[in-house]
């Protein structure tokens, strides 16, 4: 049987089996603009090396490789053509789906820069599947993914960009909420979600839900979880201080925020988030 991307059902399975035999994998990240400096890439690389037994090729797709450690292979950002004024500016990850990406081949794990690895990555490399992504925590019934941690095979999802260019801008905005991860989840041929307890959101797993109680609470280490995911205005760096990141988007419209303090400091994060 052949799927709509033109690959046989056994295509990913053969590529997966080859990766298991060689124990080689590409680990990739992206850095553009000025929000994250080279130290974020360097920390991510160090966390990956400490948390896998596999032979890795670590690549950062970036518009500025200055300050990134020499063990990291820097390559230009893959091209994605879009009108940021009409559909938003956060679409570069779709470029990872192109055929022949950076001369890479085979199984590839993408990681966002603002993650904290608290356990082994090896299970992310041995779980069978063609395309794996986190299940988005907000409105899970919609079936969208969170693209902070994505595993795919180079070139196998090349139809994603074709579908992106063929989709009208109003559909991108109205149906997918101008969100790259929403479109990506639905544009691939076979998306599978990581086990729910593997990638856990810091705000849910480490803090009480009540925001008033949270203000007086010290974030706790998650009972389970292999990767801590940060979103909104909280980053690993700000969580160590117990604050939100003033430069990051914190929501729509005006919100009165007399202090950056959100909870008590979480110094234990620094044990994992380091070079």
Per-residue pLDDT at 247:
72
Tell me the pLDDT tens digit for each residue of 232-242. 889 999 999 99
Output the DSSP codes for 138-173.
Answer: SSGGG--EEEEEEEEETTTTTHHHHHHHHS-HHHHH
Per-residue pLDDT at 246:
77
Q: Hey, what are 141's tokens?
A: 């019934």
Buried b (16+ CB within 10 A) or exposed e, 229-261: bbbebbbbbbbbbbbbbeeeeeeeeeeeeeeee
Output the DSSP codes for 48-113.
Answer: HHHT--SEEEEEEEES--TT--TTSEEEPPPP----HHHH-S--GGGGGGSTTGGG--SEEEEE-T
Per-residue pLDDT at 10:
60
* % of the chain with per-residue pLDDT over 70: 92
Contacts by 140-145, CB closer than 8 A, 24 or more apart: 142/182, 143/185, 143/186, 144/179, 144/181, 144/182, 144/185, 144/186, 145/181, 145/182, 145/184, 145/185, 145/191, 145/193
Flag whether pLDDT at 84 surpasses 70.
Answer: yes
Residue 194: count of CB within 10 angstroms of its CB: 22
Q: What is the mean pLDDT of residues 148-164?
A: 97
Flag whether pLDDT at 254 surpasses 90.
Answer: no
Sign of the C-alpha dihedral computed for residues 148, 119, 206 and 143 taken in this order: positive
Flag whether pLDDT at 2 surpasses 80.
Answer: no
Tell me the pLDDT tens digit for each residue of 105-137. 999 999 999 999 999 999 999 999 999 999 999
Flag whether pLDDT at 250 surpasses 90.
Answer: no
Flag whether pLDDT at 251 surpasses 80.
Answer: no
Q: Hey, what are 113's tokens?
A: 């820069």
Tell me the pLDDT tens digit for each residue of 215-234. 999 999 998 899 999 998 89
Per-residue pLDDT at 253:
46
Flag whether pLDDT at 256 surpasses 70.
Answer: no
Whether residue 97 contacts residue 157, with contact meaning beta carbons closer than 8 Å, is answered with yes
Beta bridge partners of 33: none
Q: What is the CA radius of gyration of the chain?
A: 19
Q: What is the mean pLDDT of the chain?
A: 92
Q: How far apart are CA 261 and CA 48, in angstroms?
A: 30
Flag whether pLDDT at 143 surpasses 90.
Answer: yes
Q: Helix (H, G, I), strand (E, B), or coil: what is residue 191?
A: strand
Q: How far apart are CA 59 and CA 111, in angstroms?
A: 11
Tell me the pLDDT tens digit for each residue of 194-205. 999 999 999 999
- Structural domains of the chain, with CATH: 10-193 (3.90.550.10), 197-275 (no CATH)
pLDDT-based confidence at residue 8 (cuts at 50, 70, 90): very low
Q: Helix (H, G, I), strand (E, B), or coil: what is residue 2?
A: strand
Tell me the pLDDT tens digit for each residue of 22-79. 999 999 999 999 999 999 999 999 999 999 999 999 999 999 999 999 999 999 999 9
Q: How far apart are CA 82 and CA 169, in angstroms?
A: 9
């Amino acid at each position: 049987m052949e799927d709509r991307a033109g690959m046989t059902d056994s295509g990913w399975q053969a590529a997966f089996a080859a990766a298991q035999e060689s124990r080689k994998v590409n680990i990739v990240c992206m850095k553009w603009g000025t929000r994250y400096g080279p130290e974020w890439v360097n920390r991510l690389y160090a966390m990956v090396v400490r948390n896998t037994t596999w032979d890795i090729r670590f690549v950062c797709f970036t518009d500025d490789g200055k300050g990134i450690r020499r063990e990291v292979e820097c390559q230009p950002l893959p091209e994605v053509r879009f009108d940021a004024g009409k559909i938003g500016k956060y679409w570069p990850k779709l470029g990872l789906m192109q055929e022949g990406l950076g001369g890479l081949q085979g199984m590839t794990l993408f990681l966002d820069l603002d993650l904290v690895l608290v356990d082994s990555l090896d299970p992310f490399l041995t779980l069978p599947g063609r395309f794996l992504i986190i299940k988005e925590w907000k409105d899970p019934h919609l079936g969208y993914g969170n693209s902070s941690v994505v595993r795919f095979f180079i070139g196998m999802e090349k139809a994603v960009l074709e579908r992106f260019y063929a989709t009208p801008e109003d559909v991108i905005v109205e149906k997918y909420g101008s969100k790259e991860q929403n479109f990506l989840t639905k544009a691939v041929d076979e998306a599978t979600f990581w086990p729910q307890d593997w990638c856990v959101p810091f705000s849910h797993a480490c803090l009480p839900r009540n925001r008033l109680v949270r203000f007086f609470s010290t974030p706790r280490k998650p009972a389970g979880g292999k990767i801590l995911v940060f979103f909104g205005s909280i980053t690993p760096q700000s969580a160590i201080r117990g604050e939100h990141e003033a430069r990051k988007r914190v929501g729509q419209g005006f919100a009165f925020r007399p202090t950056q303090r959100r909870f008590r400091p979480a110094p234990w994060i620094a044990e994992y988030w380091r070079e």
